[in-house]
Amino acid sequence: MSIKKILVINCGSSSVKFSLFDSQKNQLAAGLAEKLGDADAVLSWRIQGGDKNTLSLHSAQHRGAITAITKALGDAGLFDGGIAAIGHRVVHGGEFFSASVVIDAAVMKNIASCSHLAPLHNPANIVGIELLAEQFPQLPQVAVFDTAFHQSLPDYAYTYGLPYQYYKEFGLRRYGFHGTSHRYVSQQAAQRLHKAYTDSSIISAHLGNGCSATAILNGKSIDTTMGLTPLEGLLMGTRSGDIDPSIHQFLADQLHCDLSDITAILNNNSGLFGISGLSNDMRTLCEAAATGNTRAQLAIAVFCYRLAKAIAALAVPLGKIDALVFTGGIGENAATVREQTIKQLSILNMTLDTQKNARTVGGEQGIITTDNSTVAMVIATQEEWVIAQDTLALLDTLS
Ligand code: ADP
């Protein structure tokens, strides 16, 4: 079988992440263009894990960033021999997409029609797809959606207690996000437990800057903590997660500002950052908490308490738990967060092995509970590789 190269593009609201993989899972290059639109917009990348290269992008937007990325990869000789396809992370697929798809005009129309559900992300995803279609008109492009894995939620899990016509008219329902990560780590967990994925009950907690947890029964997502947008659910780096919906009006009155200002506060100034007043970065908070910073301690305590409650709630539709999986930057590295969370989960028969937990950091994976406990484990997520894999699989269907 010939080795194929796949370019993976992840256009965020003000960033573009990219990776170039070959079909044997070697990461040939990876990088990030960030602060797009700002004077200090910058592209940084590494070729095969080597030294970091940086390039000022001078206020470039997504188009300028992607052009700089393809030039950097081309200049490094990484396009020699050609690439086979491009895989895109697309944030919102609405109810159109329950799996990854090869992009054509009809797919583009549907991605565009979901833009009102993810106004900062889907338009950026579209710019990336269109520009790469101009640069590589002969290459197939694939869309991998954050929402797709959660399309299996039953209606009673995705329906809000709101007038039903808003669902019909505006698509107002719970969608869920981080689907690529939840799918990957739950598959990995089943494999590690020597269980068939189609006969498994798993809760995955993806804890990065954004955080969500999902109940996965027999390989299908049946409930998840994020909703219409990634603001719902767990406490996150700068996002509030669940709050009393009346807080919008309450704060607008107190602060004499409009609802969009409150939405910005809930997205950008809340969560770990809002409570601690120090940082949205869990590493910084763990360090501060260890030296007695009480606000950092409180932020971590709220984070873990709410996470534990959400995990217990997700056990309800599963009935039994084969494994709880921690992933994402916090899930993979913050042993103290896992400890504080699992200590509150005796209701699920979960007991931490403190030594295993302490050493399962920095890329280590595996079980962190005692032998007679319900299993909790750490698995490193690999969202970009999953996008490359989906792209390769769809490529095979084209040939
Ligand atoms: P993103 O959602 O942007 O992909 P990541 O999955 O990389 O983010 O997660 C970022 C979070 O992981 C940050 O809060 C960061 O502080 C946290 N993190 C990374 N390493 C550690 C660590 N060693 N200890 C505690 N938190 C960590």
Mind listing the pLDDT tens digit for each residue in 105-114?
Answer: 999 999 999 9
Q: pLDDT (tens digit, 9 = 90+) per residue, 50-82? A: 999 999 999 899 999 999 999 999 999 999 999
Whether pLDDT at 13 is above 90: no
Distance (angstroms) between ligand 1 centre and the Cα of 170 equals 34
Q: Is 142 in the pocket of ligand 1 (CB under 6 A)?
A: no
Concerning whether 146 is annotated as a catalytic residue, the answer is: yes
Average pLDDT over residues 366-386: 97
Distance (angstroms) between ligand 1 centre and the Cα of 65 equals 24
Mutation choice for ligand 1 from 282, 341, 359, 386, CB with most ligand atoms inside 8 A? 282
Instruction: Return phi, psi of residue 22, to 5°.
Output: -100, 170
- Nearest alpha carbon, ligand 1 atom 13: 281
Q: Is 359 in the pocket of ligand 1 (CB under 6 A)?
A: no
Q: pLDDT (tens digit, 9 = 90+) per residue, 277-290? A: 999 999 999 999 99
Query: What number does the ligand 1 atom closest to the CA of 361 have?
Result: 23
pLDDT at 79: 94
- Let me know if 104 is exposed, middle or buried by CB neighbors in 10 A (0-12, 13-18, 19+): exposed
Distance (angstroms) between ligand 1 centre and the Cα of 172 equals 31
* Predicted TM-score (pTM) of this structure: 0.95
- Paired strand residues for 223: 215
Q: What percent of the chain has pLDDT over 70?
A: 100
pLDDT at 61: 94
- Paired strand residues for 376: 324
Confidence band (pLDDT; 50, 70, 90) for 239? very high
Choose the catalytic residue: 146, 223, 322, 390: 146
Q: pLDDT (tens digit, 9 = 90+) per residue, 301-325? A: 999 999 999 999 999 999 999 999 9
Average pLDDT over residues 184-199: 98
pLDDT at 120: 85
* Least confident window among 11-15, 143-147, 293-297, 318-322: 11-15
Distance (angstroms) between ligand 1 centre and the Cα of 337 equals 12
Distance (angstroms) between ligand 1 centre and the Cα of 181 equals 15
Q: Is 42 in the pocket of ligand 1 (CB under 6 A)?
A: no
pLDDT at 1: 65
Query: What number does the ligand 1 atom closest to the CA of 209 have?
Result: 2
Q: Mean pLDDT for the chain?
A: 96
Instruction: Return phi, psi of residue 33, to 5°.
Output: -100, 125
pLDDT at 227: 97
Q: Is 262 in the pocket of ligand 1 (CB under 6 A)?
A: no
Q: Is 333 in the pocket of ligand 1 (CB under 6 A)?
A: yes
Are the C-beta atoms of 246 and 238 separated by less than 8 Å? no
Confidence band (pLDDT; 50, 70, 90) for 2? confident
Whether pLDDT at 12 is above 90: no
Are the C-beta atoms of 86 and 76 separated by less than 8 Å? no
